[in-house]
């Protein structure tokens, strides 16, 4: 707060704004219609506010936050802090409105521009300060009014405030035009990915390849035999491994529970006509099989500190948050203890395909391929794993790409919804239809998808970097604005010290009166 520009002064926010001012409610009849602003009416990070909702005064006079035109609303609760829900109140029905109790209201004094206050508290530095001075329970912390009241700010002369905000708005408009173009490009990339995946799983992506490689194609009868052979071979190996684990367990004195055996395969039901109607049209030499026919499905282990273990071993485990759509986020992987004799059957193996069991409805079934990034790792019970009978990275990617695209609609329609969460069960996952084609074509599909999607991902990374730079540019502009470097000072402007003295004088004349003012232009 040193080295003030010429004509500037320093003050606390409470010296230039009323924080959470009262509104005289005696002017309102119970049936008076007033504007209402829920938290959802303010768009995070933009200052856009929707004033279309109206309510009777009798419904809002108790338990809601009052405000008037020109006030600045600041969302004070944890979920709203990251991008900031901040807005200037526009014209209101009757001049007064009511809104969420999670708003702080700042009413600038005469001579203080509402837009200047808005930009001041939109500044990343202020929001960082506010966030790190929140109080209350984790997840529902709030910014106390004292944080606003005692925050020090630099105040330019009244005319310079206007010049600053006009310059900020002009520069931000230019940035917003560029950001809009970047977001349009990003949306176009999403449509391109969807189109690419649709083309892949309808056989159009490899139509030319099929025409040139007819000798590598297999008919539907051969594909069924291949799938059966892969399945039988996997279960035979799984049985041999289980026998070895049981022998080792017995030799060690049968400490802990007996090792788990893989769930036995039960033939799947045929796809119904209604199911086939929802699936894409595939080439005549492809077939649909259920996930149960091409992979062994298993659940993870629930997290419990009260579980009593005979011979514990500590392992890493994947949560729903680790398993994203098309990638894994492994920056934070937690640990749990399990029985040593059970660990081998729980451990993820190379190229298992992960599917989330629950969460928001649009997150059902999302996942990706496990590539042994973390040693000795299992899944929590909210994450399923599918172990493909054909042990091949390309095949696992194929299954996961299908699950993240066409499978997404399947999971959303099949999931069960509770009050807060949606979920799928193991039987739903087992029943997922998957297009099955010749291995050579499947490898070509994944190769083409990887190539095109990597290009799209690289472009998206460039767009995201540009969006980050745009946000950094905004913060740079604000930093210059509040240090007096954005617009030149005018020596003929009335100094801010005189403005502050006038505000203090007005407050001293009527310390208890409800002061009215017009919103700053």
The per-residue pLDDT for range 227-239, each reduced to its tens digit, is 999 999 999 999 9
78 neighbors 141 (Cβ within 8 angstroms): yes
Tell which wins on pLDDT, 77 or 399.
Answer: 399
For residues 116 and 128, give the distance between their C-alpha atoms in angstroms, rounded to a whole number. Answer: 18
Q: Is the pLDDT of residue 94 over 80?
A: no
Q: Is the pLDDT of residue 111 over 90?
A: yes
Tell me the pTM: 0.78
Q: Please, which pLDDT band fits residue 297 given cuts at 50, 70 and 90? A: very high
- β-strands 383-388, 295-298 pairing: antiparallel
113 neighbors 162 (Cβ within 8 angstroms): yes
- CA-to-CA separations, 438 to 50, 245, 298, 435, in angstroms, rounded: 55, 35, 26, 10
Mean pLDDT, residues 466-482? 93
For residues 355 and 428, give the distance between their C-alpha atoms in angstroms, rounded to a whole number. Answer: 12
For residues 66 and 76, give the distance between their C-alpha atoms in angstroms, rounded to a whole number. Answer: 15
The pLDDT value recorded for residue 67 is 93
388 neighbors 374 (Cβ within 8 angstroms): no
- β-strands 152-155, 96-99 pairing: unpaired
The pLDDT value recorded for residue 81 is 67
Closest CA to 7 of 163, 164, 160: 160
The pLDDT value recorded for residue 508 is 86
Q: Please, which pLDDT band fits residue 124 given cuts at 50, 70 and 90? A: confident
- β-strands 323-324, 327-328 pairing: antiparallel
Question: How is the beta sheet containing 295-298 ordered, strand by strand?
Answer: 295-298, 383-388, 353-356
Mean pLDDT, residues 371-382? 95
The pLDDT value recorded for residue 354 is 98
Q: Please, which pLDDT band fits residue 138 given cuts at 50, 70 and 90? A: confident
The pLDDT value recorded for residue 169 is 94
Kindly state the percentage of the chain with pLDDT values over 70.
Answer: 96
Mean pLDDT, residues 172-177? 95
For residues 110 and 518, give the distance between their C-alpha atoms in angstroms, rounded to a whole number. Answer: 8
Mean pLDDT, residues 152-161? 95
Encoded tokens for 367: 């996942």
The pLDDT value recorded for residue 510 is 63
For residues 141 and 413, give the distance between their C-alpha atoms in angstroms, rounded to a whole number. Answer: 36
Encoded tokens for 409: 């609609």
Q: Please, which pLDDT band fits residue 276 given cuts at 50, 70 and 90? A: very high
Q: Is the pLDDT of residue 518 over 80?
A: no
The pLDDT value recorded for residue 521 is 34
Q: Please, which pLDDT band fits residue 517 given cuts at 50, 70 and 90? A: very low
Q: Is the pLDDT of residue 1 over 70?
A: no
Q: Is the pLDDT of residue 514 over 60?
A: no
Q: Is the pLDDT of residue 70 over 90?
A: yes
Lowest model confidence (mean pLDDT) among 24-33, 407-416, 423-432 = 24-33
The pLDDT value recorded for residue 362 is 80
Q: Please, which pLDDT band fits residue 301 given cuts at 50, 70 and 90? A: very high
- Among positive and negative, which fits the CA dihedral 14, 17, 20, 21? positive
The pLDDT value recorded for residue 136 is 87
Q: Per DSSP, what are the bridge partners of residue 518?
A: none
The pLDDT value recorded for residue 48 is 92
Tell which wins on pLDDT, 57 or 420.
Answer: 57
For residues 108 and 513, give the distance between their C-alpha atoms in angstroms, rounded to a whole number. Answer: 16
Q: Is the pLDDT of residue 192 over 70?
A: yes
The pLDDT value recorded for residue 214 is 95
Kindly state the percentage of the chain with pLDDT values over 90.
Answer: 78
The pLDDT value recorded for residue 267 is 94
Q: Please, which pLDDT band fits residue 265 given cuts at 50, 70 and 90? A: very high
- Among positive and negative, which fits the CA dihedral 314, 320, 325, 328? negative
The pLDDT value recorded for residue 422 is 83
Q: Is the pLDDT of residue 516 over 50?
A: no
Q: Is the pLDDT of residue 396 over 80?
A: yes
Tell which wins on pLDDT, 78 or 193.
Answer: 193
Look up residue 41 and give its DSSP letter: G
Q: Is the pLDDT of residue 318 over 50?
A: yes
For residues 209 and 446, give the distance between their C-alpha atoms in angstroms, rounded to a whole number. Answer: 13
Lowest model confidence (mean pLDDT) among 37-41, 89-93, 232-236, 256-260 = 89-93
For residues 380 and 388, give the distance between their C-alpha atoms in angstroms, rounded to a whole number. Answer: 19
Mean pLDDT, residues 89-98? 86
Question: How is the beta sheet containing 33-37 ordered, strand by strand?
Answer: 54-56, 33-37, 96-99, 65-68
The pLDDT value recorded for residue 154 is 93
Per DSSP, helices labelled H in 71-157 are: 114-122, 124-131, 145-149
3-state secondary structure at position 150: coil
Buried b (16+ CB within 10 A) or exposed e, 152-189: ebbbbbbebbbbbbeebeebbeeeeeebeebeeeeeeb
Mean pLDDT, residues 168-189? 96
The pLDDT value recorded for residue 520 is 39
Mean pLDDT, residues 123-147? 86
Look up residue 27 and give its DSSP letter: G
Lowest model confidence (mean pLDDT) among 52-66, 185-199, 492-506 = 52-66
Q: 211-219 long-range CB contacts below 8 Å, 24 or more apart?
A: 213/440, 213/441, 216/438, 216/440, 216/441, 217/285, 217/438, 217/440, 217/441, 218/285, 218/438, 219/285
To the nearest whole number, what is the mean pLDDT of the chain?
91
The pLDDT value recorded for residue 487 is 95
Q: Is the pLDDT of residue 24 over 90?
A: no
Q: Is the pLDDT of residue 93 over 80?
A: no
For residues 387 and 76, give the distance between their C-alpha atoms in angstroms, rounded to a whole number. Answer: 47
């Amino acid at each position: 707060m040193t080295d003030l520009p010429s004509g500037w002064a320093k003050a606390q926010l409470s010296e230039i704004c009323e924080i959470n001012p009262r509104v005289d409610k005696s002017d309102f009849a119970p049936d008076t219609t007033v504007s209402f602003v829920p938290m959802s009416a303010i768009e995070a990070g933009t200052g856009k506010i929707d004033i279309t909702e109206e309510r009777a005064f009798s419904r809002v006079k108790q338990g809601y936050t009052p405000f008037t035109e020109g006030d600045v609303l600041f969302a004070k609760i944890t979920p709203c802090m990251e991008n900031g829900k901040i807005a200037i109140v526009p014209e209101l029905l009757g001049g007064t409105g009511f809104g969420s109790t999670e708003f702080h209201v700042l009413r600038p004094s005469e001579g203080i521009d509402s837009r200047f206050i808005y930009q001041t508290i939109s500044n990343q530095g202020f929001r960082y300060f506010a966030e790190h001075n929140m109080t209350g329970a984790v997840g529902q912390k709030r910014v106390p009014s004292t944080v606003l009241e005692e925050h020090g700010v630099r105040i330019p002369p009244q005319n310079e405030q206007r010049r600053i905000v006009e310059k900020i708005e002009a520069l931000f408009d230019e940035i917003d035009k560029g950001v809009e173009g970047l977001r349009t490009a990003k949306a176009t990339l999403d449509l391109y990915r969807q189109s690419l995946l649709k083309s892949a799983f309808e056989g159009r992506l490899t139509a030319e390849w099929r025409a040139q490689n007819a000798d590598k194609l297999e008919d539907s009868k051969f594909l069924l035999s291949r799938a059966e052979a892969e399945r039988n071979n996997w279960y035979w190996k799984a049985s041999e491994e289980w026998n070895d684990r049981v022998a080792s367990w017995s030799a060690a004195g049968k400490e802990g529970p007996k090792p788990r055996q893989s769930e036995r395969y039960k033939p799947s039901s045929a796809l119904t006509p209604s199911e086939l109607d929802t699936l894409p049209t595939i080439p005549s030499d492809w077939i649909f099989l259920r996930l149960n026919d091409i992979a062994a499905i298993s659940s993870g282990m629930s997290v419990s500190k009260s579980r009593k273990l005979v011979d514990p071993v500590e392992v890493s485990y994947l949560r729903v948050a680790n398993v994203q759509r098309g990638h894994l986020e492994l920056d934070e992987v937690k640990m749990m203890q399990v029985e040593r004799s059970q660990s081998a059957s729980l451990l993820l193996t190379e190229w298992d395909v992960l599917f989330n069991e629950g969460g928001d409805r649009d997150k059902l079934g999302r996942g990706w391929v496990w590539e042994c990034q973390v040693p000795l790792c299992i899944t929590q019970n909210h994450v399923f794993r599918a172990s493909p009978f054909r042990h091949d990275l390309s095949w696992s990617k194929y299954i996961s790409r299908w699950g993240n695209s066409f499978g997404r609609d399947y999971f959303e329609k099949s999931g069960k919804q509770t009050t807060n969460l949606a979920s799928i069960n193991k039987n739903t996952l087992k029943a997922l239809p998957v297009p099955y084609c010749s291995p050579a074509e499947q490898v070509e599909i994944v190769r083409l998808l990887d190539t095109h999607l990597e290009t799209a991902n690289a472009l998206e990374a460039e767009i995201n970097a540009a969006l980050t730079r745009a946000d950094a540019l905004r913060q740079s502009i604000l930093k210059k604005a509040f240090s007096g470097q954005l617009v030149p000072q005018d020596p003929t402007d009335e100094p801010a010290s005189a403005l502050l003295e006038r505000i203090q004088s007005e407050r001293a004349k009527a310390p208890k009166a409800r002061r009215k003012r017009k919103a700053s232009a």
